[in-house]
């Protein structure tokens, strides 16, 4: 019996840091398609589509190479009055990446999308 060895092309494996940077770049592409916030003046912006939840973007600050943002739905947490859920984002225009710096998630969004069944 003859053994035949076949070569498999080796694909470079992404390490954890490389995977995270790729995710930041993917987030940048999606956010730019939705709002293109890198050139927006500080203020509130709204994306509305009939039959869907409205998405709110707060441009908190513009810096030389970054933009500070808060992305949320138009729902407010009844306990705190804060947008729920919301993510604070840092857009790196020079690197083409977006990083989530912190998030606020209450329970109301789960009720709105019908995640929990009530009997």
H/E stretch holding 108 reads helix 108-112
pLDDT at 116: 60
Q: Is the pTM of this model over 0.85?
A: no
Q: Is residue 62 part of a domain?
A: yes
Range of the domain at 86: 16-112
In Å, how far are 52, 53, 67 from 106, measured between CA atoms?
20, 16, 25
Per-residue tokens: 27? 């987030």
Q: Is residue 50 part of a domain?
A: yes
Residue 112 near residue 75 (C-beta atoms within 8 A):
yes
3-class secondary-structure state, position 46: strand
Contacts of 37 (CB under 8 A, 6+ apart): 31, 45, 57, 59, 67, 69, 91
Q: Is residue 119 part of a domain?
A: no
**Burial of 23 from C-beta contacts in 10 A (0-12 / 13-18 / 19+):** middle
Closest to 87 measured CA to CA, from 58, 109, 107? 58
pLDDT tens sequence for the chain (119 residues): 566 667 777 666 778 888 888 889 999 999 898 888 888 999 999 989 899 888 999 999 999 999 999 999 888 777 777 887 889 999 999 999 999 999 887 766 666 666 665 55
pLDDT at 113: 63
pLDDT at 7: 73
Q: Is residue 6 part of a domain?
A: no
Q: Is residue 8 part of a domain?
A: no
Closest to 72 measured CA to CA, from 60, 54, 90? 54
Please state the domain count of the chain. 1
pLDDT at 34: 83
Q: Is residue 11 part of a domain?
A: no
Q: Is residue 2 part of a domain?
A: no
Q: Is residue 4 part of a domain?
A: no
């Amino acid at each position: 019996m003859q053994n035949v060895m076949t070569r498999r092309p080796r694909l470079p494996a992404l390490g954890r840091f490389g995977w995270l940077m790729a995710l930041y770049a993917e987030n940048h592409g999606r956010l730019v398609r939705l709002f293109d916030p890198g050139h927006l003046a500080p203020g509130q912006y709204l994306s509305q589509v009939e039959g869907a939840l409205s998405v709110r973007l707060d441009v908190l600050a513009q810096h030389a190479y970054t933009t500070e943002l808060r992305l949320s739905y138009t729902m407010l947490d009844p306990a705190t009055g804060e947008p729920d859920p919301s993510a604070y984002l840092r857009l790196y225009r020079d690197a083409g990446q977006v990083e989530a710096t912190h998030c606020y998630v209450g329970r109301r969004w789960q009720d709105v999308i019908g995640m929990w069944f009530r009997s």
